[in-house]
Amino acid sequence: MLDTTKKYDLIIVIPSYNESKSLKEKKFISFLNNKSNVAICFVNDGSTDNTLEILKSFESKLEDQIVVFDCVENQGKAGATMMGMNYCAEHFNFDKIAYLDADLATPLRECYRISRKLNGKLTFVFGSRIKKLGSRIERSSFRFFTGRIIATFISNILRLGVYDTQCGIKVFTKDLSIVVFNKPFLSKWLFDVEIFFRIIQFYSREVAIVKMKEIPLRKWVDKGDSKVKMSYFFKLWLDLLKINQAYKKL
Asked if residue 86 belongs to a domain, the reply is yes
Which pLDDT does position 134 carry in this prediction?
A: 86
The CATH code of the domain that includes 235 is 3.90.550.10
Asked if residue 131 belongs to a domain, the reply is yes
Neighbours of 33 (CB within 10 A): 10
Neighbours of 134 (CB within 10 A): 6
Q: Are 220 and 106 in contact (CB under 8 A)?
A: yes
Asked if residue 182 belongs to a domain, the reply is yes
Asked if residue 139 belongs to a domain, the reply is yes
Asked if residue 2 belongs to a domain, the reply is no
Asked if residue 21 belongs to a domain, the reply is yes
Q: Give the pTM.
A: 0.92
Using DSSP's 3-state secondary structure scheme, residue 90 falls into helix
The number of domains in the chain is 1
Q: Are 126 and 215 in contact (CB under 8 A)?
A: yes
Which residue range forms the structural domain that includes residue 97? 7-246
**Which of the residues in the chain have pLDDT under 70?**
142, 144, 225-233
Which pLDDT does position 230 carry in this prediction?
A: 57
Which pLDDT does position 228 carry in this prediction?
A: 58
Nearest to 208 by CA among 126, 111, 89, 142: 126
How far apart are the C-alpha atoms of 150 and 240, rounded to whole Å? 10
Asked if residue 188 belongs to a domain, the reply is yes
**Cα first-last separation, the chain:** 40
How far apart are the C-alpha atoms of 230 and 139, rounded to whole Å? 16
How far apart are the C-alpha atoms of 32 and 108, rounded to whole Å? 9
Q: Are 9 and 96 in contact (CB under 8 A)?
A: yes
How far apart are the C-alpha atoms of 212 and 146, rounded to whole Å? 25
Asked if residue 1 belongs to a domain, the reply is no
